[in-house]
Amino acid sequence: MTSESGSEGDPFKDPSVADVQAPQLGDIPVGATLPVGRSASLTLGTDSLIVLDEDFGESKSAANCCGLLPNKNKTTRSIPFYNILWAELSESEITIRYARTVSKETVRVAYINYTMEKTDRAFVDAWIERLLDRAYGASQRQKRMKLLVNPFGGQGSAQKLYVRDIEPILAAARCEIDVERTKYSGHAVEIARDLDTDAFDVIACCSGDGVPHEVFNGLAKKKDAARALTKLAVVNLPCGSGNAMSWNLNGTGSPSLAALAVVKGLRTPLDLISITQGDRRTLSFLSQAVGIVAESDLGTENLRWLGSVRFTYGFLVRLLGKTVYPADIAVKLEVDDKVAIRNAYKAESERPPPTHDSRPIPSPTDGLPALKYGTATDPLPADWQLVPHDNLGNFYAGNMAYMSPDANFFSAALPSDGCMDLVRIAGDIPRKAAVQSLLAVESGAFYSMPLVHYAKVSAYRIVPKNQAHGYVSIDGERIPFEPFQAEVHRGLGTVLSRTGHMYEAEGPRL
């Protein structure tokens, strides 16, 4: 466990800082330069910190400059504000920590450090504050994180990825981290259920999508469920085999880049979906599948040795066999027109990013919202109609866009539009068209295919029929093959994203 919050015992914090009347932030404009050392300066550029160091080529002493790539020909470099993790002044030393790009997929913590000969403390403090202001914008600094590591995630590599790629970034950004390893399946439900809602800002899952699913459901069990789901942002630091949540919100499957995205992430309301089956109610944050997707994923466990090809293989076998999964389906339809859906997506993407999370914080006595449409065992709501889908091939409802790095399946999905994106495809379409639809997912043409029925719905019920057994997948987890009902709760949950209102995905193409 790393605990770095507060000023007590903080080796970096100069106790005298608080006593100094710092200049106003407005006194430090873009372009403000901080002279450091004899021939070096730090300047606040438009999008980056500009480091000018005339001695850099000759003097590479650790005291003068660390962490910058040595380059004798250049004395000026820039560090994007996005990559700046922290800055501080202690005694007469200024240290700036940042995430240095070492490859397309990796950032590592680096720092620059200068001893300042003359220190106008008040000015330096204000300059640092301005730098952090540019580096974090509306993102909360020094987030307090409950961090769960699934030691079995990603075939056992999660712990190693956490130590090597994630923890150094969070620590350099001076996040407060409370680490716990999950000990058994379902442990994350209990940890989230018993967590003090006010003690943390973020629950970070070093895992795949299974642990965040458990965390949402653990928070749902709290007495103050609505408050906990609003206050605590759930994030995925990708260490599992399926990391869709990170691809959608952090835009990456790289643990170190995701850690940086989380450090800089903006609070984002997320729709959550109640799934009722019998008398059970669970929350889904990612997807629900019946038919070919569920079976290709959950019904191919015997082919684990095939690795990631397992899913595609299972899918193709069923596609070519023209397998159908008959069911009766009733939906609470919101939009059933691809042009209108695409236009709504475009309008949201062009909206200026929100400056803050405007939702009110629910009271400590607010549990989960009541179900508007009852459960799967209640009479069907009057304005819904159970429509037979005797030749159903694929029933797939998504709350996020990417289901895997190459599969932007629900390209019109938005985090909190109050809708699930529902895709239905017949199972008895010509084989060629079926294979084309599979290939179209990767190329981005899937949405526009006429055989893909794409709608925005706020609730539905599905009753599988004429099958002795089958598969239902909720966020990739198997639930009994029985009728179930789904209902969206708009913006009930909270995640962190780069924009505060969109997924990191290309929108629908027509």
Ligand X SMILES: Nc1ncnc2c1ncn2[C@@H]1O[C@H](COP(=O)(O)OP(=O)(O)OP(=O)(O)O)[C@@H](O)[C@H]1O
Structure tokens at 373: 């449409």
User: How many residues are listed for the chain in this entry?
Assistant: 510
Short-list 264, 308, 335, 269, CA closest to 83? 264
Q: Specify the residue, 240 or 291, whose C-beta has the smaller distance to ligand X.
A: 240
- Closest contact distance (angstroms) between CB of 215 and ligand X is 10
Span from 58-66, 225-233, 240-248, 328-336 in contact with ligand X (CB under 6 A): 240-248
Cβ within 8 Å of residue 261, ≥6 positions away? 249, 250, 251, 252, 496, 498
Question: Contact between 210 and ligand X (CB under 6 A)?
Answer: yes
- Closest contact distance (angstroms) between CB of 428 and ligand X is 32
- Closest contact distance (angstroms) between CB of 287 and ligand X is 13
Cα distances from 440 to residues 407, 429, 447, 478, in angstroms, run 9, 15, 8, 27
The dihedral built from the CA positions of residue 198, 201, 207 and 212, taken in this order, carries a sign that is positive
Q: Specify the residue, 37 or 212, whose C-beta has the smaller distance to ligand X.
A: 212
Answer yes or no: are the C-beta atoms of 240 and 476 closer than 8 Å.
no
Question: Contact between 214 and ligand X (CB under 6 A)?
Answer: yes
Question: Contact between 280 and ligand X (CB under 6 A)?
Answer: no
- Closest contact distance (angstroms) between CB of 273 and ligand X is 18
- Closest contact distance (angstroms) between CB of 407 and ligand X is 15
Question: Contact between 393 and ligand X (CB under 6 A)?
Answer: no
378 belongs to the catalytic site? no
- Closest contact distance (angstroms) between CB of 249 and ligand X is 15
Q: Specify the residue, 324 or 400, whose C-beta has the smaller distance to ligand X.
A: 400
Alpha helices in 43-97 (DSSP H): none
| Residues in contact with ligand X, shown as a per-residue x/- string from 134 to 163 under the rule CB under 6 A | ----------------xxxxx---------
Question: Contact between 22 and ligand X (CB under 6 A)?
Answer: no
Beta carbons within 10 angstroms of residue 394's beta carbon: 26
Short-list 258, 321, 315, CA closest to 441? 315
Q: Specify the residue, 239 or 457, whose C-beta has the smaller distance to ligand X.
A: 239
Span from 111-119, 236-244, 397-405, 496-504 in contact with ligand X (CB under 6 A): 236-244
Directed axis angle between helix 309-320 and helix 431-443, to 10°?
A: 150
Q: Specify the residue, 208 or 398, whose C-beta has the smaller distance to ligand X.
A: 208
Span from 65-73, 206-214, 264-272, 377-385 in contact with ligand X (CB under 6 A): 206-214
Short-list 107, 112, 115, CA closest to 131? 112
One of 125, 165, 209, 475 is an active-site residue; which one? 209
Q: How far is 322 from 272, CA to CA, in rounded Å?
A: 33
Beta strands, E only, 60-186: 76-80, 84-90, 93-103, 106-115, 144-149, 176-181
Q: Specify the residue, 186 or 418, whose C-beta has the smaller distance to ligand X.
A: 186
Which residue is at the shortest CB distance from ligand X?
Answer: 208
Question: Contact between 255 and ligand X (CB under 6 A)?
Answer: no
Question: Contact between 208 and ligand X (CB under 6 A)?
Answer: yes
Cβ within 8 Å of residue 508, ≥6 positions away? 338, 341, 342, 345, 411, 412, 447, 448
Residue from 74, 160, 183, 372 binding ligand X (CB under 6 A): 183
Beta carbons within 10 angstroms of residue 241's beta carbon: 18
Question: Contact between 240 and ligand X (CB under 6 A)?
Answer: yes
Question: Contact between 184 and ligand X (CB under 6 A)?
Answer: yes
Q: Specify the residue, 155 or 365, whose C-beta has the smaller distance to ligand X.
A: 155
Q: How far is 126 from 117, CA to CA, in rounded Å?
A: 18
Cα distances from 54 to residues 69, 103, 127, in angstroms, run 15, 27, 21
- Give, as ranges, the residues between 463 and 502 that touch ligand X (CB under 6 A): 476
- Closest contact distance (angstroms) between CB of 234 and ligand X is 12
Question: Contact between 508 and ligand X (CB under 6 A)?
Answer: no
Residue from 22, 211, 262, 459 binding ligand X (CB under 6 A): 211
- Closest contact distance (angstroms) between CB of 187 and ligand X is 6
Answer yes or no: are the C-beta atoms of 375 and 482 closer than 8 Å.
no
Total chain residues near ligand X (CB under 6 A): 21
Q: Residue 118: left (phi > 0), alpha (psi -120 to 50), or beta?
A: beta
Question: Contact between 253 and ligand X (CB under 6 A)?
Answer: no
Span from 8-16, 117-125, 159-167, 177-185 in contact with ligand X (CB under 6 A): 177-185
Sheet containing strand 106-115, edge to edge, reads 84-90, 93-103, 106-115
Q: Residue 301: left (phi > 0), alpha (psi -120 to 50), or beta?
A: alpha
Q: How far is 323 from 427, CA to CA, in rounded Å?
A: 6
- Closest contact distance (angstroms) between CB of 158 and ligand X is 7
Q: Specify the residue, 303 or 451, whose C-beta has the smaller distance to ligand X.
A: 303
Question: Contact between 427 and ligand X (CB under 6 A)?
Answer: no
Binding site for ligand X (CB under 6 A): 150-154, 182-187, 207-211, 214, 240-242, 476
Q: Which residues are annotated as catalytic?
A: 209
